[in-house]
Structure 1
Amino acid sequence: MPFSDLGIPPALAHAMVLQGYVLPTPVQAQTVPVALDGKDVLACAQTGSGKTAAYAMVLLAQLTSRTPHKPRQATALVVVPTRELATQVGDTLRTLAQHAGQAARVTVLFGGVSINPQLMGLRGGTDIVVATPGRLLDVVDHRALTLGGVQTLVLDEADRLLDLGFAQELDRIRSLLPARHQSLLYSATFPAAVRAMAQASLHSPVEVNVVAEEGEQPDIAQRAIQVDVSQRTQLLRHLIAEQGWSRVLVFVATKYAAEMVADKLRRAGLLAEPFHAQLSQGKRTQVLMDFKASAIGVVVATDVAARGIDISDLPVVVNYDLPRSATDYTHRIGRTARAGASGLAVSFVTADMEAHFRLIEKRHRKLVPREQVPGFEPAPRASDAPGGTAGGGIKGIRPSKKDKLRAAGLLPPLA
């Protein structure tokens, strides 16, 4: 199916081809026509499947058919969870509009920077607003923007919006919209909270669940390397050198870990930078620009970067710390193997995180063979010795009283 069959204007179809799309992706083919019919949409598709371009086509096509407001009043609103995703979506909309010859005014709003330039930027009006929830409401409270003219609402990365605690903000945003408006909800996963929100806010939505066939799954090779906690940074350095990784995105659990690991890599002669929510917006933007341009080779990030960051040709993702959930694991490794490319996801599995990684495997229905790298083998545990027990005890991870007495030789060993 060519883009012209989706119902979008010919100039916009041509713009998609100029952006490198040959044919519509499944999520685009299934959501764009029904959205252009004015129906609400509830769409689930894997990371990197073209969801952003899907609703971008809808919003720009709708804009061409709507009577322009004077002064310009926003008719479309895209709500996203992070600053980086807001910037990316804004860039996609502007680029498509430019290639299609549309004079669409796109405004991007996010926190972490001064609100004044954003307020000033709205003085001439706007057509499409892309915003994070908190900053959007701040701008509304400053009376620089009204949402009474919004005809289409897009919630992108809906699961992440709820994970980050934006439920109350989303309720308030919806209360500011006209009673009759179209809602498009896109996400890579559909947990119960997202389904509950959809049931409460969408009107008879068309549900699209794009499950990739075996041959359409992202080409991501997965490795699970057993290693002691204290050896992870040295192992990371070894792998970067031995494998010749030109760019690698490393995920850690905390801001402190991001700073610490990046500093150790720099002292080892690698071009590495931390990336976390406490950095200024200018610094975060510069890190991503340098990473995309290969001016730096390693970015050590917290999960703020796990959603919505589109880095083309990123060959490797490393889980230095395992993610909290199987959903976060999906989004982390989905940063590689985008747009049909192949990629590698490496997870460091320490002894105390083995059970957690098994849970991730179970949720993904995929077993990743454990391996050890020569020179970085984990130290033997007492539970690995003859007579030992997995996890250090019979009833759980902590040794029981009988286990302690047995280890002290005061009770006979287990048969």
Structure 2
Amino acid sequence: MSFKDLGLSDALVKAVEEKGYTVPTSIQQKAIPVILEGKDILASAQTGTGKTAGFTLPILQYLSETKHPKYRPLRVLVLTPTRELAAQVHDNVREYSKYVNVKSAVVFGGVKAASQIKTLKQGVDILVATPGRLLDLHDQKAVSFNRIDVLILDEADRMLDMGFARDLNKLISFMPAKRQNLMFSATFSNDIKKLAAGILRNPVSVETAPQNSTAQKVSHKVFNVDKNDKTTLLIKLIKDGNWTQVLVFTRTKHGANKLTEKLIKAGISAAAIHGNKSQGARTKALKNFKDNSIKILVATDIAARGLDIPLLPHVINYELPNVPEDYVHRIGRTGRAGAAGEAISLVCSEETEYQNEIEKILNEKLKTTVLEGFEPTDTAPAKRAATQSKGSFGKKSKSSNSQGNRPKNKPHFKGNKTESTTGRGRTGAPKKKR
């Protein structure tokens, strides 16, 4: 099957082929025809399988086939959880729309809003945004949602994990009731299903791989090591393997900074990327990593969904995530588009419970080994068990997320209607086919 067979225009097919793609991926084959029919969709696929093109291409076709008035009202909105993912999605939109008459823009926090407001005033057809900055711009009356035809939630599960439930509800309350809704996510928790029930109308479900599955060509390896020996082992692995492009994940921002300093001190070029870094610093670090100016990029889970690095050979979990699904998102940065990749985890005694939870959702045992000279001697109890034992009245304590600030607000959805602060919800009116 070709992209032409999916019903895409010659202009879009030409742009896709110039990117080097001739055969649609499984998620693209299943999602594109459904979206072109104007139906709502609930799509799940492992990372690196072409989800972005799966919604970008049919939406660009819809926009290009619609007559443009002199003033371009915003008609398609793509919401993403992180700045990096927003920038990545917008890059794809620009590349695929080079031969069609569609204007796009991206807005996110961390940079001044003035230039973003100026761009929006000139009129755009499709906007990629993070929820927080978009709400700010709406409050400033710099953007209107009155003409939204299509709403796309990309990595919806991560948005809920990061505490964006209220922002999503508020944004949706400003939009027309009649619109097409597309929800793409790597996993679907109960909260995501509630969100979908409140937004999507008779959605077509598309799933190309079991939930929490990883790319087939990614090999998994665990090194058991004492906590205090992790940095030394990491440096040895990098130097002995002569690795030139490695993405390393830590659980905290402070840990990312500290590890980066130690790597640089050991003569290994490295940079950190996390939420406390300015947008300029994050963009620079990612650029230097992509063009191989630095060998190691140390990141918190903020980077797990928003980094698109072709042929990234190695992902290392310096610390295992305490949310097992995040393991899938982290290692999804390697083994993309059918390429081979290696996921290595450095696991100390405190993290054994995390490893058990990860193996449970993957439904496989991770290959575990001990490197000579790094035999573990620490017998500290698993952190999850230790946390539970400290909880009051025997109750399990809530674990923090990778950023150390598990969002307090849980999503609230009543029935099939999204709860909003303005009281405006879906009318239930039938959707017209485009």
TM-score (norm 1): 0.90
The alpha-carbon distance between structure 1 residues 58 and 396, as it changes in their structure 2 partners (threshold 3 A), is closer
Whether the 8 Å CA contact 2:79–2:128 is kept in 1: the answer is yes
The answer to whether the 8 Å contact 1:326/1:364 transfers is: no
What residue in structure 1 maps to residue 263 of structure 2? Answer: 265
* Cα distance in 2 between the residues matched to 1:336 and 1:56: 22
CA deviation after TM superposition for structure 1 residue 68, in Å: 0.9
Asked if 2 retains the 8 angstrom alpha-carbon contact of 1:250 and 1:300, the reply is yes
Counterpart residue type for residue 17 of structure 1: E
Residue number in structure 2 paired with 1:89 = 89
Query: Alpha-carbon deviation of 1:380?
Result: 5.7
- In the alignment, which residue of structure 2 is the partner of 1:402? none
Q: Which runs of 5+ in 2 are unaligned?
A: 390-434
- How far apart are the structure 1 equivalents of 2:353 and 2:37? 48
Residue 24 of structure 1 corresponds to 24
Q: What residue is the counterpart of 2:419 in the other structure? A: none
Distance 1:282 1:308 in 2: 16
2:39 touches 2:203 (CA, 8 Å); kept in 1?
A: yes
In the alignment, structure 1 residue 63 sits paired with structure 2 residue 63: yes
Paired residue secondary structure (2:106): strand
CA contact (8 A) 2:77 2:128 kept: yes
Alignment of 1:394-405 (within 5 A): none
Structure 1 residue ranges without an equivalent (≥5): 384-389, 399-415
Cα deviation code 1:278-301 (max 9, x no counterpart) = 111011001000000000000111
Q: Distance in 1 between matches of 2:234 and 2:325?
A: 24
**Contact kept? 1:313, 1:338, Cα under 8 Å:** yes
TM-aligned CA distance change 1:255 to 1:216, over 3 Å: closer
1:251 is the counterpart of 2:252: no
- Return the letter of the residue paired with 2:55: Y
What does residue range 96-135 of structure 1 map to in structure 2 within 5 Å?
Answer: 96-98=96-98, 101-135=99-133
Match of 1:186 in 2: 184
| Larger relative contact order (CA 8 Å, sep ≥ 6) | 2
Given candidates 277, 282, 292, the residue that maps to 1:279 is 277
Find the counterpart in structure 2 of residue 310 from structure 1: 308
**Identical aligned pairs, as a percentage?**
42
Quote the residue 2:295 is aligned against: 297
Q: Are 1:11 and 2:7 an aligned pair? A: no
Cα pair 1:147 1:177 within 8 Å, conserved: yes
Contact 2:42 2:196 in 1 (8 A): yes
1:308 partner SS: coil
Amino acid at match of 1:346: I
Aligned to 1:163: 161
* Structure exhibiting the larger radius of gyration computed from Cα positions: 1
Contact 1:218–1:338 (8 Å) recurs in 2 = no
Tell me how far apart the structure 2 counterparts of residues 191 and 2 of structure 1 sit (CA, whole Å): 33
Contact 2:349–2:378 (Cα < 8 Å) also in 1: no
Which of residues 330, 340, 343 in structure 1 aligns to 2:341?
A: 343
Q: Which residue of 1 aligns with 2:43?
A: 43
Specify whether residues 152 and 94 from structure 1 end up closer, same or farther in structure 2 by C-alpha distance, changes over 3 A only.
same
Stretch moving more, 14-23 or 253-262: 14-23
Counterparts in 2 of 1:217 and 1:335: CA distance versus 1, 3 Å? closer
The number of equivalent residue pairs is: 388
Structure 1 runs (4+) deviating above 2 angstroms are 215-218, 395-398
With over 3 angstroms needed to count, the CA separation of the structure-2 counterparts of 1:267 and 1:124, relative to structure 1, is same
Q: What's the offset of the Cα at 1:67?
A: 2.0
Deviation at 1:8, TM superposition (A): 1.5
